[in-house]
Amino acid sequence: MRTLSQEIAGKEGKEVMLQGWVEVRRDHGKLIFIDLRDRSGIAQVVFPPSDKELIEKAGHLRTEWVIEITGTVQKRPKGMENPKISNGIYEVSATKLEILNEAKTPPLEITGDGTDINEEVRMKYRYVDLRRTRMQKNIRRRHKVIQFVRNFLDKEDFIEIETPILGKSTPEGARDYLVPSRIYPGKFYALPQSPQQYKQLLMVAGMERYFQIARCFRDEDTRGDRQPEFTQMDFEMSFVTREDVIDVNERALIALVEKLYPEKKIQEKPFPRISYQEAMEKYGTDRPDLRKDNPPAGGDPNLLAFCWVIDFPFFERVKDERNPEPAEGLKSSGSTSSPQTSRDVWTFTHNPFSAPKPEFISDLLTKKNIGGIITTQYDVVLNGWEIGGGSIRNHQPDALKAVFEIMGFEEKRIQNNFGHMLEALGSGAPPHGGIAWGLDRLMMILENEPNIREVIAFPKTGDGRDLMMDGPSEARQEQLKELHLKIAPTSEVEVPTGASGKIKFTTDKK
């Protein structure tokens, strides 16, 4: 039976069988030592000089070879102990060596933390990079965090429900990844930017308390804390107020830190609350870093300053050169913002499904004071990073429809994009609200890492490439034919899209 490296401490004098990778081989005259690495850590193995055949075989071992060792656990000679590891006073005296698989010379060094290695090299050989101790810790701690949240929410009477990956393209603030349909030529699925609509439909369905470790996809520019695909801890609750949602989330975050990160200190409990207006006026950002011990060097990495930012404006002005005329009836909206020009339109600041605070519902329905409407949105911020955001939702169809009308959507577009939501909300939807945590970003902060790529097993580069699998890649002509697609010779034309910047589309060369 296999023994893990960290288990040898309790097996002195017993024969054990270890399996793992050769981390280091050291030749000390007639003795050969190796550090054998497995998922639990490192064990030192010594090959005694009395067994010439075994010594000769061990002399051929190289870094990252996969081996099996049989031997007896013994204490290391006095003065040779390693206090840095938990089994550092023990070693295994080998009696048998089996080489399970040889390995080419590693493309990168994995005994260090990897921060001095070109990141593109690390990502190209990610399956090797993930063997390093730091990456093993990050990925295993990620598992522990997810497991903790699952157990916490189960005790709070939430149920985990998976929502579809293939859905419908609807405007939610970022570009969709589209998937062409083979069966329905010229039509496309969209990968979910979030489970937003599905989780609200689950509330309509009477599930009342839902959660999901949700994969999300957004075709937008990447940076250190953003990826084309990412993971959300997604929550939704029926018959709740903002206070109910905040309470559950705050208790979950506090319990998570205290259980899994006891070395860290939460600066203030309960989490302080700041209005959007106060945050912008005092800190110049809606995700303020409230750490009191935060000198230029970066402050205490184990200090966690959570806060809630609340009372966001529902709508903001953006330029939209594709839609120069405002929607009918909105030219004199009574807005407190600057006068509307022919190129100004309204868009949501969070998502269109948020509800206004109760005192602003009349303004929403009558489309007055648009710039002054405050939404029920709440963001949870940690050390200057937004780690979660949510709101109480519009659960009445007329209120949701008013949001799209304020944004200038025509009736046909509203029905085409959101008719299913309006119909569902009209079938007896309960008041509901929720939140989503950015799991990758939360893990980045808890593990004191500089970006989310360090806490994701197989991330993309900053420009969305998968260097290990060489993606994205070209499709075969047979695949394109099945999907009724054709790649034509193209010239690129840039078209401005207002708040989203510019997109490129192709035109056939003539």
Interval 185-196: pLDDT, tens: 999 999 999 999
- pLDDT for the residue numbered 343: 54
The reported pLDDT for the residue numbered 232 is 96
Q: Is there a single domain that holds both residue 171 and residue 91? A: no
List the end-to-end C-alpha distance of the chain, in Å, as a whole number: 70
pLDDT in tens, 105-132: 999 999 999 999 999 999 999 999 999 9
Helix axes 242-260, 133-155, angle to 10 degrees: 140
Asked if residue 9 belongs to a domain, the reply is yes
Same domain, 88 and 125: no
String of DSSP letters for 304-315: E-EEEEE--BSE
The whole-angstrom separation of Cα 333 and Cα 330 is 5
The answer to whether residue 207 sits within a structural domain is yes
Give the contacts of 295 (CB within 8 A, at least 6 positions apart). Answer: none
Element (H, E) at 216: strand 209-217
Shared domain check, 493 and 470: no
Whether residue 470 sits in one domain with residue 452 = yes
| Domain limit, last residue, from 79, 101, 123 | 101
- Please indicate, yes or no, whether residues 126 and 228 belong to a single structural domain of this protein: yes
User: What pLDDT, on a 0 to 100 scale, did the predictor assign at position 143?
Assistant: 98
> Cβ(35)–Cβ(20) under 8 Å?
no
Same domain, 76 and 143: no
Last residue in a domain, options 54, 79, 101: 101
CA distance to 244, 260, 261, 489, per residue, from 447 (Å) = 29, 11, 9, 47
Contact predicate 333/367, CB 8 Å: yes
Q: Is residue 324 part of a domain?
A: no
Instruction: Quote the tokens at residue 42.
Output: 């490192």
Question: Is 399 within a domain?
Answer: no
What dihedral angle (degrees, nearest 10) is formed by the CA atoms of 24, 26, 32, 34? Answer: -20
User: Would you state the pLDDT for residue 341?
Assistant: 45
What is d(CA 281, CA 60) in angstroms, rounded to the nearest whole number?
A: 66
Q: Are residues 158 and 83 in the same domain?
A: no
190 phi and psi angles, rounded to 5 deg: -130, 140
Note whether 123 and 459 are within 8 A (CB): yes
Whether residue 475 lies inside any domain: the answer is yes
**pLDDT at position 490:** 64
Q: Are residues 37 and 124 in the same domain?
A: no
Spell out, as residue ranges, where the chain has pLDDT lower than 50: 322-342, 493-510
Three state DSSP letters for 141-187: HHHHHHHHHHHHHHHCCCEECCCCCCECCCCCCCCCCEEECCCCCCC
Angle at 258 between CA 252 and CA 261, to 5 degrees: 110
Same domain? For 461 and 488 the reply is: no
Cα-to-chain-centroid distance, residue 126? 18
User: Do 213 and 419 touch, CB atoms closer than 8 A?
Assistant: no
Indicate the number of domains in the chain: 3
Q: Is the model's pTM score more than 0.75?
A: yes
**Helices within 270-319 (DSSP H only):** 276-283
Residues 118 and 227 in one domain: yes
Asked whether the CA dihedral 325, 331, 334, 336 is positive or negative, the reply is: positive
Contact in structure between 289 and 367 (CB atoms under 8 Å): no
- At 222 the pLDDT is 65
Residue with tokens 């957004």: 218
pLDDT at position 320? 66
Burial class (CB in 10 A: 0-12, 13-18, 19+), 115: exposed
Measured distance CA(95)–CA(185) in Å, rounded: 66
CA–CA separation, 109 and 116 (whole Å): 10
Q: Are 67 and 103 in contact (CB under 8 A)?
A: no
CB atoms within 10 A of CB 345: 24
Query: Is residue 127 a part of any domain in this protein?
Result: yes
Contact 250, 273 (CB under 8 A): no
Residues in the chain: 510
Residue in 403, 355, 395 with CA at minimum distance from that of residue 375: 355
CB 209 within 8 A of CB 203: no
Closest CA to 245 of 461, 389, 422, 394: 389
Percent of the chain with pLDDT strictly greater than 90: 80
d(CA 25, CA 36): 9
Task: Tell me the one-letter amino acid at 449.
Answer: E
How far apart are alpha carbons 231 and 381 in whole angstroms? 17
Residue 68: inside a domain: yes
Say what the pLDDT of residue 351 is: 84
For the domain that residue 230 is a member of, what is the CATH number? Answer: 3.30.930.10
Whether 49 is in a domain gets the answer yes
Assign residue 64 the CATH number of its domain.
2.40.50.140
pLDDT of res. 502: 41
Which pLDDT score, from 0 to 100, does residue 456 have?
Answer: 97
**Domain residue limits at 220:** 114-239+430-483
Task: Report d(CA 439, CA 452) in Å as an integer.
Answer: 9
Handedness of CA 40, 46, 52, 58 (dihedral sign): positive
Domain boundary among 80, 101, 122: 101
Q: Are both 92 and 155 inside the same structural domain?
A: no
User: Are both 68 and 148 inside the same structural domain?
Assistant: no
Task: Compute the C-alpha angle 466/472/474, nearest 5°.
Answer: 145
**Which among 180, 341, 151, 350 is positioned nearest to 260, based on CA atoms?**
151
